[in-house]
A and B are shown apart, each in its own frame.
Chain A
Amino acid sequence: MKRIRIPRRTFLRGTLAGGIGVSIGLPLLEPMLNANGTALAQDGTLPRRFGVFFFGNGRGVEVAKWRPTGTGAGWTPSPLLAPLTELKDYISVVTGMNARLDESPQGHHRGSAAILSGYEFVTQPANNAPYRSTFQKPSVDQLVAAAVGSATPFKSLELATSSRVIKGEGTTIQYISHNGPDSPNPPEVEPGAVFDRLFAAGGGMTTQPTTPAVTDRLRELRGSVLDTVLVDLDAMHKRVGASDRVRLEQHTESIRAIERRLTTMPTAPAVQCDNPTRPGAIAGTSGKEPLAERLDAFGDLLTLAMSCDLTRSFTIQWSGSAGGPVFWQVGATRAHHDLSHDGAGAQDVIEKITIFTMEELAKMLVKFRDTPDGAGNLLDSLALMATSDTSDGEAHSVNDYPIVIAGKAGGALKHPGVYYHSNGEHTNKVLLTLLRGVGVQIAEIGEGNNTETEGATALEA
């Protein structure tokens, strides 16, 4: 019996109640797979996804409470990692690695740049103005986006549950996702706004009710407008200096991404990707950020985004580098960063914060696990790194770095997951494993003594 082959890259337009057009991809349907169900009939490989879950200020001073017991697949979660027990088969934990950089210790700047990009950050001129540093290289989510991002409507997605970030020291610790120096990808905090971005109507030129014929013509004109913008960018590119050329090149890429989304839309509505429900507004006060509620909504959105192949790379900033959410949920009354320096007496609250963080992470991972995807679930194709800006936030240490990995990365990562304690290897090895695991061709990461060419083989299948 001949199976109907549906091209994977089919983005469809459906409508929500109220007649708002949405553009959504098909979920990975069986007819898209090859006869064995292990690869796309057309492309040959199932998509793999990459995510970062980032929490600030480290895991706490008492490393014994973080480190699992046992080794290999027979490991037992520690008190701080206990919330992940249910998912243990999909979790690997790494300890003992160092996120070394050559730049003098810069506390949170160093850890963030090391674990999120593998490279030094850059301290920028300040005279006597406030300090400023930036990423030298793209963050790892953008390496993934560069490799696979043009295959999806959105190259990546940046989300944040907390707004209490450090804004006065440059982009390095204000943002998680970077395209390079002075080029952050700011996150979205409101789930509703994320939904609107992912599932917006054709946008542009369709804000007034019109006939389908006019709508089509307006969409074509929208493409012509974008072409004009591209020529304007090209002309400006010839006038400006080197660093501005980079800005304009990135601007150009963004316009091309809009054009791609535009041209892959067919003109007739067809089957929908579930019935996406717009998340409602989430109430919270300035002193009580609704971190768990936001992450819950993000979990649903990411489930949808991955299922419908809207993006394959995402970052979630649960709390910022040196960030200051007040974790009222566990009874904290001080901003997280301040609390992390309050000495031994504050560590019980710090540990509760870490446990709470792991609990909410676990809930999101359970959603991914329970969402069918191809022959398996969303965790099967995902490599997610959960990590921080330091190991011990009080000492600003970047040694013995806290790294939790979730997912199978399409079979590239060991399953069941393992606990690996390293004797001081560089965290860049983990970055290589994860990047290669999701299909990024990368020979090495890091510079000078911190260059790595081999991954963390203990984690690799």
Chain B
Amino acid sequence: MTSKRIAILASAAWLIACSGDIERPRGARNGAPGSTPWGVNGPGSFGPNGPGSGPNGAVPPGGSAMNPGAGAPGAPGAVKQPGATLRRLTLKQYQNSVRDLLGVEADVSKLSPLGPLNGLHAIAASALAMPEKDIEVFEGLADKLGAQVFSDTAARTKLVGCDAAQSACAEGFVASFGRRVFRRPLTDDERTRYLALLRTATQMTGDAWLALRVITSALLQSPSFLYREELGAPDPADPARRILTPFELASRLSFFVWNTTPDPVLLDAAEAGMLATDDGLRTQAERLLASARAADAIDELFTDYLQLDALDDLVKLPEVYPDATPTLGLAMKTETLRTLRTVFFERKTDFRNVFTNTTTFVDAELAELYGVRAPAGTGFSEVTLPASGERAGLLTQASFLATHAHPGRTSPTRRGKFIRESMMCQSIPAPPPDVNTALPEMTASRTLREKLEAHRADPACAGCHTLMDPIGLALERFDGIGKFRQTDNGAQIDASGELDGTRFSDARGLGMALSQNANVTGCFTRTLLRYARGALEDPSETPLIDALSGEFAAAQYRMSDLMLKISTQSAFRSMGALP
């Protein structure tokens, strides 16, 4: 492979989806070739609110050219929120809810994952229509799950709690189980209709238990189960705002913190009006956050945020990476989720430590990849990474390194792009149309750094690549599946890099720089709010994001504290008008 070809490969590495041109209004644009893409404020002005905002998201009074609406906090009616909407259950939420409701595992393998949108499946679940294929699957599942529980005498007795042959029992079950499935009491009309269905089923089959199975199946395929309503009622004080009903709020809290249907305690608290007060809401939020179930739920959050599902089907060339087995990809995912769960919930440590952490979780396969001692047995154990080594923190975990790479080699640009876009909430401008990625012949190029240098020197490419490459290059001593290496193509790797003015000489330095970068914690705050509400924030909500970031800092960046702050915000109780 010629170095010209390699240079072309390298420069094309980040054209992941060739999705635009320089005229498209997305982020700061001057349009003139060679100009920096972040407009007049220069590098470093990429605050969390986009070009023109400062590093902590502060916006100059009166807004800026790039944030016209965001500079007048406090003006009455100025803040808009994402609109009231339905949110369909994600696959995991469906599975968790079924487990909590029926005590059985639903096979969700035939459902479409759908999305992500704007980087999160949580947003896709609010926006996308439910495919016909999935509706068929939900119908089949509803029946299968009903059959599974009701063909087991012990299970059905446990579920129903009385003798189905007694009409009071059967009718009571419709109301009480219906309330749990719909996450709110049935309306009068619903109760009438479902009781009528019960009567029909009982008459037709002559079997009271079979009739309850039919009801169960019906409830599980109702839109009132499959969609979470976050519609609320109009706020008398503000026509642009709607307040969630107590049950909608209970659901929002439960899915945010536990990723499942509200438990009976939470439903009862909603019904008793306890969520109407800040204290009442906080009590429930604290209860949920204190439970081990909160740790389970963050798996979905981080799988979504870090795109870890890519590891279920890792694409690596076997001749380049013979160690890249399907089990390795899954192990990488487990390592990252275990680490995050430990950092955030079990030890409640500072979020920023995730970038500098010198311990991780490995199984035998990962231990081999990392060159550390394998744990005893087949499971995962926590290990301390060698102090003299370069591996520390999330960005040196194989999950990150392998996902943001090519089938046959690394991609500093992709790694840098992900960090910019997903961890710093900074848009990377799209490539110009007809971008010519052919570069002049290179002589004596050896490492990928040297090849990428060529296209950072070209002003037409440099504007974008200087945002990404200096970050990703610090990770070059980790190959396309995350294995440590000193050389690339026979030449020593130089892993120095730079992030918005901070220089470092290796991956550990990059981790340190990210842990100290306010854009990172601000972006995480923003992302968590998006996840909680299943929607992008409105640009007018900048003060809210800033306030939450400030509270995150004041709480020593403990994630559970941030989740508590988010859940008890007035923005969590409400949303914008019905679109």
Contact = CB atoms under 8 A, between A and B. Distances in A.
Interface residues of A, number: 93
Contacts of A287: 315-318, 324, 407
Nearest to B319: A333
Interface string B285-321: 0000000000000000000000100000111111010
Contacts of A60: none
B12 A341 contact: yes
B567 interface: no
Contacts of B15: 337-338, 341
Nearest to A167: B116
A228 B200 CA distance: 12
B9 A335 contact: no
Contact of B17 (A163, A182, A337): A337
B427 interface: yes
Given A130-B119, A203-B139, A244-B85, A239 B221 contact: no
A266 B397 CA distance: 58
B19 A251 contact: no
B364 interface: no
Contacts of A335: 315, 406-407
A108 B18 contact: yes
A207 B147 contact: yes
Majority DSSP secondary structure for residues of B touching A: loop
B243 interface: no
B221 A182 contact: no
A313 B437 CA distance: 40
A37 to B, nearest CB: 34
Contacts of B147: 207-208
Interface residues of B, number: 102
A155 interface: yes
Contacts of A170: 117
Given A107-B17, A188-B133, A239-B229, A225 B315 contact: no
Contacts of A337: 15-18
- For B127, B151, B224, the residue with the greatest tally of chain A CB atoms inside 10 Å of its CB is B127
A50 to B, nearest CB: 17
A229 B218 contact: yes
Nearest to A251: B130
A229 B204 contact: no
B75 interface: no
Interface stretch (B187-195, B266-274, B460-468): B187-195
Nearest to A107: B18
A130 B316 contact: no
B128 A171 contact: yes
A125 B530 CA distance: 14
Contacts of B578: 240-242
A204 interface: yes
B421 interface: yes
Given A185-B132, A236-B227, A338-B406, 20 more contacts: A104-B23, A107-B18, A108-B17, A130-B119, A131-B19, A170-B117, A185-B133, A186-B112, A204-B143, A232-B190, A233-B223, A241-B231, A247-B130, A251-B223, A286-B314, A287-B318, A341-B8, A341-B12, A345-B5, A395-B434
In the complex, the 6 A-B pairs of residues with the closest C-beta atoms, listed nearest first: A241-B578, A183-B129, A186-B112, A129-B118, A107-B18, A341-B12
Interface of B: 2, 4-5, 8-9, 12-13, 15-21, 23-24, 26-27, 48-50, 83-86, 110, 112, 114-119, 127-136, 139-140, 142-144, 147, 151, 187, 189-190, 193-194, 197, 200-201, 204-205, 214, 217-218, 221-224, 227, 229, 231, 307, 313-318, 320, 324, 326, 329, 406-408, 421-422, 425-427, 430, 433-435, 437-438, 530, 536-537, 539, 577-579
14 contacts: A107-B20, A127-B537, A127-B539, A132-B117, A171-B128, A207-B144, A224-B201, A235-B190, A236-B227, A239-B229, A287-B318, A333-B317, A337-B15, A342-B12
